[in-house]
Structure 1
Amino acid sequence: MILDEHSNVALLKEIAELLNEETDMERMLDGAINKLLNGSIFETAWIFFIDENGKHRLVAQANLPPALAEKDCRHLQKGGCWCVKRYRDGDLKKASNIIACQRIENALSAKAGNSEGITHHATVPLQSGEEKFGLLNIAAPDTVRFSKDELALLESVAFQIGSAIKRIGLTKQEQELALVKERNRLARDLHDSVNQLLFSVTLTARGGVEMSQDPAIQETFRDIQHLTQEALNEMRALIWQLRPKGLESGLLEAIKGYAEMLGISLELKVTGVIQLPSRIEETLFRIAQEALNNVRKHAGVNDVQLYLSVTSSDVLLVLKDEGQGFALDEGVYLPSIGIQSMRDRAKAEGGSIEWSSKIGIGTEILVRMPY
């Protein structure tokens, strides 16, 4: 027993060192459960994050049996179970043995594969203080219950993971706040310096047209005025992107405001109640910004249709124009129309984006994002 206690202390120390060093959430979770499995009798682990609405999301897993790993862990991804329900109801306070696992039973009933002797699992909440994040589930072959010492080890590991989740979350918030401050500073500097200079050049060129009697000189000043006005419009769009006005009033108001600034007429069609996390709203807004910029620069039209559909699990954003369109080659990188930027933004939030475009017919962009 003394040897086991020493082994557990060494394991907890090893996990703590990893958690203290890691700054990426995904790597931290994967590393922690793999170290736990390698240093204990446990053989399978998975972690659910559970949001304030009680919706669970599989964020990490290690050494799953084929029955649970089948088709991208579909039996862990979908449906309900005892442990998630207890967590939602506030009845799960500490590590608990599970009599049976509904997800494993569903996988076996669907003949999804071999469970490799895993029929039950223990579960322990991940939390830091009063803040809860989700569940750590642990299993071993031919094991229906774990001992008090084994559950105590799970609680210690879960406490460490919960503290690391809180730390990484706070660090990310600080980074995002610093980024917002830097964007605001750049926006102010651009507005106070470059933007004002461009406006002055526009006025000077206009005055040159009125003062000169030479048609060639007048035409030159008109060209300068036109190019400076275009640069001024670009600068205003850049400032808008750095510090979007209206997002605090909601996603639709922000997109409408940006479209008006570009001189684009936006037709809106919305279904569902728009109550999205702030990170999803900003991602959708940035994608819509890029799409509207493309319409102004490349489509040759000023009318855009926007469809927004919100369900209990995801949001669908469609932007459609009847402009010039383009031929999209998936094997070619097209930075000029921001395709890669939009794709990266959607992917970063676990979403997807698709394009449909034909020369002379128009373009349709479809963004689907879970939340």
Structure 2
Amino acid sequence: MPSHPSKYQKALHIQREISETLNKNTDLQKMLQLSLERLLDLMELETGWIFLTEDETSYELVSSHQLPPALENNREQLMHCYEGYTDCACLQLYWEGYMNQAVNHVKCARLEEAIDNDMGETRGLTHHASIPLTIRGKKIGLLNLASPGRRRFHEDELVLLETLAYQIGAAVERTRLHLQQTEEEVHAIARYLVDAYANAEKINRQIGNILNRSELFHRFMQELHDHLPSWTNAAIIMMERGRLTVQSCSDHHGPREVFDAEQEINLDQPDIVRQAYVHQHMIQGNEQPLHFSSLKDHEPLYSIAFPLFMPERSEETFGVLLLSRSTSLCDHLEMGMLEVLANHLSMGIERLRLHEEWEALLVYKERNRLARDLHDSVNQKLFALSLTSRGLQELIDEKENTTMEVVLELQQLSREALTDLRSLIWQLRPDHLEQGLMTSLAEYAQKIGVELSIEAPDDLGVNQSCQETLWRIGQEALNNIQKHAGTSKAAIIMQSEPHDFTMRVMDQGNGGAVETRQSLGIRSMKERTEELQGSFQMTSENGKGTTITVRVPVHKKGR
């Protein structure tokens, strides 16, 4: 070992480099290669190689430096394992327990075979030093070092080599354990993801045929609770009346139905639920404040929010799926699985919407069929009855007062029935809505003899389905005015606000509708309003007319 002060400093420097390399590296091959090269530099040797072994049936060359050409050019034949350790004298000594410390020089069977078979230049090498890599009695491998003309090492050099060999062996064992642990973690994650994807598919199958929103949300949350228990808390938040509203929650007790509207709409500092809804992409965070009283249990946890929407209808977001748990680790593979789960829920909600549209289409077709049948049969018969009664009037002697009164009453009844039928046919066929809600109501009022004034914004800001419902409510209100109010004048005022649309139908007639009538028409208007998650109010004092107020959340495309 070097004794000159400058050489001694160099030796310390190299030893420190070797130690740092062994401590910092987790790439086994790179770590051993760098350590071997620095060790050869420290010992002023020419060549070396390291074998690693896990049992006596095999070994592996993991690093080498400046092998003589005979070994370098015949690696496959001379440096690889074929019959356990029996083809190598140093490994044989090692595994049979005769090499527990550094050995000064061992005759190399590989070099001997290369010389005997004239396999190339050996640079005069015939022997090498062997240092065992053994940790707490466990055989890790062998470190072999050689240099032409170098047969023996000083005692302190062997001690140094044994010390460095112990460090190398410890680093190899630590790296193997790290790789094993990493592999186990990867396998555990893989198993979790495989199970999670399978469970996501189970959830999709369970909710695939549900056509009721409450049942859909309850079943989804129950399946989530049963199959993905690591996500201890979950919530489905939907947009209702301009506010995000929690409609279903799940914790360790299981799912429950709630109706918890957003406490505040803070656009400057939105929580992750509103961020996911507005920006239409996944948002995650740890210990995030949430603007919902029913989600307080989520706040101390790691949470991830997925927007619920269909890519082909990205202009409309249904709501948000919120998942929370105590651990924050969530890699891209798990996020992908959770996104698939959110997509399944979005498809379930979209399926409900399409089913509702399909039912509405069936109703539309049935209305058209009924209107057509009424027009072709009953309408013609009433018209014929009206003509017949008029003919009878001309045939009857004016002196027959009683008979004449009956015929005149028959004429009046047939005309009224014909008017009512035509009005009903007109109501049943909603094609006229294409010209707009206000125009349709004005035409209908004129048709039934009501003088109507309308105040409304140019853009109502509600979708076609909502306009259809408002049209039916307006029709019924105008019918009630024409039949019961004792006035032929009415007014409709419409107001559009950011989150609500209001329609008021007013008259200055008899009033008293609340006290005297709870008709089918009034119940129908109220039920239609509630179908849109709106509110229905009627004020009707005797002698002061009637006002019907319908307020519904804005249902339009976009957010």
* Residue 346 of structure 1, CA deviation: 0.4
Is the CA contact 2:245–2:262 (under 8 Å) kept in the aligned structure 1?
no
Name the CA shift for 1:162/1:289 in 2 (closer, same or farther; >3 Å): same
Please, which moves more after superposition, 206-215 or 343-352?
206-215
Determine the structure 1 residue equivalent to 2:462.
Answer: 276
Q: How does 1:16-165 map to 2 (within 5 A)?
A: 16-40=204-228, 41-49=230-238, 57-58=244-245, 60-63=247-250, 72-75=259-262, 78-80=265-267, 81=270, 82=272, 84-85=274-275, 88-89=278-279, 92=281, 95-98=282-285, 101=288, 104=290, 115-116=296-297, 118-119=299-300, 120-132=302-314, 133-140=317-324, 142-144=326-328, 146-165=330-349
TM-score by length of 1: 0.83
1:217-236 counterparts in 2 under 5 A? 217-236=403-422
- Give the Cα–Cα distance (whole angstroms) in 1 for the partners of residues 372 and 295 of structure 2: 61
Change (3 A) 1:28 1:193: same
Question: What is the CA-CA distance between 1:286 and the residue it aligns to?
Answer: 0.7
Structure showing greater relative contact order (alpha-carbon pairs closer than 8 Å, 6 or more residues apart): 1
Asked whether 1:339 is paired with 2:339, we answer no
Question: Measured at CA, do residues 87 and 356 of structure 1 come closer, stay the same or move farther in structure 2, by a change above 3 Å?
Answer: closer
What SS is found at the alignment partner of 2:446?
A: helix
SS in 2 for 1:140: strand
What one-letter code is carried by the residue in structure 2 that aligns with 1:116? Answer: D
Taking only the aligned residue pairs, the percentage that are identical comes to 28
Q: Is the 8 A contact 1:265 1:303 kept in 2?
A: yes
Distance 1:74 1:136 in 2: 13
Deviation at 1:5, TM superposition (A): 4.2
For residue 353 of structure 1, what is the aligned residue in structure 2? 536
Q: How far apart are the structure 1 equivalents of 2:517 and 2:403?
A: 42
Letter of the 2:224 partner, please give it.
L
Partner of 2:192 in structure 1? 4
Partner of 2:3: none
Task: Please tell me the residue identity of whatever aligns with 1:58.
Answer: T
CA distance, structure 1, for counterparts of residue 343 and residue 458 of structure 2 = 38
In the other structure, the counterpart of 2:500 is 314
Which residue in the other structure is 1:326 paired with?
512
CA distance in 2, matches of 1:175, 1:56: 27
Q: Whose radius of gyration is greater, 1 or 2?
A: 2
Gaps of 5+ in 1: none
Q: CA deviation at 1:36?
A: 1.3
More moved, 118-127 vs 288-297: 118-127
Instruction: Give 1:113 deviation, angstroms.
Output: 8.3
**Alpha-carbon offset, residue 10 of structure 1:** 4.9
Q: Residue 180 of structure 1: which of 334, 359, 364 is its match? A: 364
Q: CA RMSD in A?
A: 3.1
* Structure 1 letter corresponding to 2:262: H
Match of 1:304, SS state, is strand
Count of matched residue pairs: 352
Residue ranges of structure 2 left out of the alignment (5+ in a row): 1-187, 555-559
Query: Contact 1:187/1:239 (CA < 8 Å) preserved in 2?
Result: yes
Amino acid at match of 1:226: Q
Q: Do 1:45 and 1:136's aligned partners in 2 also have CA atoms closer than 8 Å?
A: no
